Amino acid sequence: MRPKPAPNPADSAASAPPRLQPRPLYRPAVDPASAVAFGRPAGTDTSFSTDRGAAADPALTVRPPDPVLAEAFGRPDGAVESIQRDPAGDAPAPGAPEAPADPWRDPDASVRLGAAALTTPPEPTTPPAAKLSVRDVLLGDRIAPRALAALAGVALTIGLVGGVVGRVTAENVGALTSQKVSLTQSGAGDREAGQVAKVAAAVQPSVVSLQVALRDASGTGSGVVIDGAGYIVTNNHVISMAASDPEKATLHVVFDDGTRVPAKIVGRDTKTDLAVVKVDVGNLTVAQLGKSGDVAVGDDVVAVGSPLGLSNTVTSGIVSALHRPVRLGGDGTDTDAVIDAVQTDAAINPGNSGGPLVDDEGRVIGINSAIRSESGGSVGLGFAIPVDDVTQVAQALIRDGAMHHSEIGVNARSVTNEQTTGAQVANVQSGSPAEQAGIVEGDVIVKVGERNVGSADELVVAVHQQQAGQSVPVQLIRSGRSVEVQVTPVSD
């Protein structure tokens, strides 16, 4: 085997990477002030040395400590040990007890509780003393026995005087009472009952409470028996919750004697807020229905129902207005109605809905349906559906299960200005009777048939009062001029 030739330095130098030349040394100029502050002392050319010899600066020579500092921080007289000692290097003195193992320095030491940081002082011993008497405990040693005896005498005297005064007072009070007095009451005898009492006695057996429940929701209202076959009229908004889910909802009727029976919905009309339910009960007391034409403002009326869940409640008042257009609706019901209401100041509250408003002869003249109040409570403004409308709608629901109304196909808004007051047409439905009669947007309807129209709600009432298929004159204001057209309403 041939030996490997030694490397040639020339070849290594040729193959080595090129090296950069050292950078030129740059020394910045030193200003004279810095040279004086940080330069060497005058006459010194070498670096500083710790061995300065005799020529050293006397100010830098180590001198003995000040006596005051030596006394404060030096070793005590006769002591040769330093302040810091190595625990491992110190051996215990001969005969001294062995120090306990220090768990902080010995990793193999067992866990133990150390000695308390402070030594518990011994309990002081009290010198023996004589026992205290009752007089010492209550009064100390400041009152003599004679004073105690005098104090007891005073207390006894006060007790005797108080007993005498109490006895005298009791005798005086006893003189104010008597076992001989017997109070008497005067009865009415054969006094004739008032008219409201007569009306209430006649109507209450025909008035019922309705109870509706659906899942966790429930509601109450009132109704009135209108036929011996078990038909009861009430408001649609009273039973609308039961109508929304007939399979899961429950509907019960409670009579004035407490009898509770299930009921079924015969039919309902959302445009008049009326409904009819039926119960399978015989021997019913049927209410007497009156006529709207016999009702006058100022007539005495009685409202019967179950306001706030209080059944068999009777309130009285008068008819305060007639033909009052009132819009009905709200959350929890599909009612969207405008009624030509009988206004009364008889107290009507939630729960009265569906109950009758009767005249002083006990005839039903309306079905209580709404109140107007800023607070939600009764403030003397109640509204009832007129009995003529109740009779017409209830008859249609019992016969057909539905009620149809006249329509002319316009939507309007109330308007009041210097020229006129009425219902301004907002839009006209295509192909409707209003379009065929030439009614256009912007016309203000002021009269339908014989009924004056002062608002959009009153227009709805006036149209519903017309017979479908029969032409009716409609008076309107167009561009400041009065125009009359003939419109033939159709059934919805």
**Token pair 């009988």: residue:** 342
Half-sphere exposure of 340 (CA within 13 A, CB side): 19
Residues in Cβ contact with 291 at an 8 Å cutoff, skipping those fewer than 6 apart: 387, 388
User: What is the token pair recorded at 118?
Assistant: 């402070």
Distance between CA atoms of 480 and 484, rounded to whole angstroms? 13
Q: Which residues are known to be catalytic?
A: 237, 273, 353
| Amino acid making up residue 8 | N
Distance between CA atoms of 345 and 379, rounded to whole angstroms? 8
Q: Hey, how many other C-beta atoms are within 10 angstroms of the C-beta on 336?
A: 13
User: 449: helix, coil or strand?
Assistant: coil
Return the DSSP state at 374: S
Residues in Cβ contact with 238 at an 8 Å cutoff, skipping those fewer than 6 apart: 210, 212, 219, 221, 222, 223, 275, 353, 354
Distance between CA atoms of 21 and 24, rounded to whole angstroms? 9
- If 0-12 CB within 10 Å is exposed, 13-18 middle and 19+ buried, where does residue 49 land? exposed
